[in-house]
Amino acid sequence: MIRLEAVGRAYGVGAARLKALEGVSLGVDAGEFVAVAGPSGSGKTTLLNLMAGIDAPTSGRVLFEGRDLAGLRAADLATLRLRRVGLVFQQFNLIPVLTAEENVLFPLLFRSDLGAQERRRAARTALERVGLSGVCGRRPAQMSGGEQQRVAVARALAGTPSLVLADEPTANLDHETGGAVIRLMRELNRERGTTFLYATHDPELVRLADRVVTLRDGSVAEASG
């Protein structure tokens, strides 16, 4: 489904140049459930941003189903993310003036293939699956960090993407709620064949993955599974 070929990403110039990733090559097949492990600063978030086409590599190639993301226009990348890729950001990126339901619904408004009732049903179903059917009318400021995180997960899942990229999806959740979110992801992986790739430094979440890619100092230190 998605493949990185000798990918590097650097920021800055000259003496201030920082290499976030260097020489990363890996592939993720459809239907996989993959963890990207490693300490803070190892390049996990950069890797996910490159896979989503949010960022572009300074060397190497990122291919989604054989297409080089570097060759796609900004509008094409946006359409790819809208229809095929669900994103769970570490900082939630919820819109403060919108309710939980409206935040989940918002990306679906750009889906011309879905009717108004289908969009609203998808948003409510996604919130129900993450255990938040009772907070649909609350705005982010009225929710706990854990609730906001689950709204972000619901937003990523509502459009039934074929690939979900999640950056520390349980970082702001207690043990029980975090486990429920990961179990939900696992269920969707098995029921729908949704491909999941999630970044984490939680050993328990790493153990749940079918395959683990470990990053260290911007390079693949180990790959198992």
| Span 69-81, average pLDDT | 91
Average pLDDT over residues 120-127: 93
What length is written for the chain?
225
Task: Check residue 105 and give its pLDDT.
Answer: 94
Q: What is the pLDDT of residues 150-180, one digit of tens each?
A: 899 899 989 889 999 999 888 777 777 777 7
Q: In angstroms, how far is CA 200 from the centroid of its own chain? A: 11
Q: What is the pLDDT of residues 14-58, one digit of tens each?
A: 767 788 999 999 999 999 999 999 888 888 999 999 999 999 999
Q: Which domains does the chain have, with CATH numbers?
A: 29-56+73-224 (3.40.50.300)
Buried b (16+ CB within 10 A) or exposed e, 45-55: bbbbbbbbbbb
Whether 89 and 164 have beta carbons less than 8 Å apart is answered as no
Residues 6+ apart with CB under 8 A from 55: 9, 46, 49
Residue 66 Cα distances to 59, 114, 164, angstroms: 17, 27, 18
At residue 88, φ and ψ (nearest 5 deg) are -115, 110
Average pLDDT, the chain: 88
pLDDT at 174: 78
Of the pLDDT bands very low, low, confident and very high (cuts 50, 70, 90), residue 61 is: very high
Share of the chain above pLDDT 90, in %: 50
Amino acid, res. 146: G
**pLDDT tier for residue 225 given thresholds of 50, 70 and 90:** low
Residue 224 pLDDT level (bands cut at 50, 70, 90): low
Instruction: State pTM to two decimals.
Output: 0.87
**Is residue 76 within 8 Å of 69, Cβ to Cβ?**
no
Tokens standing for 115? 């009717």
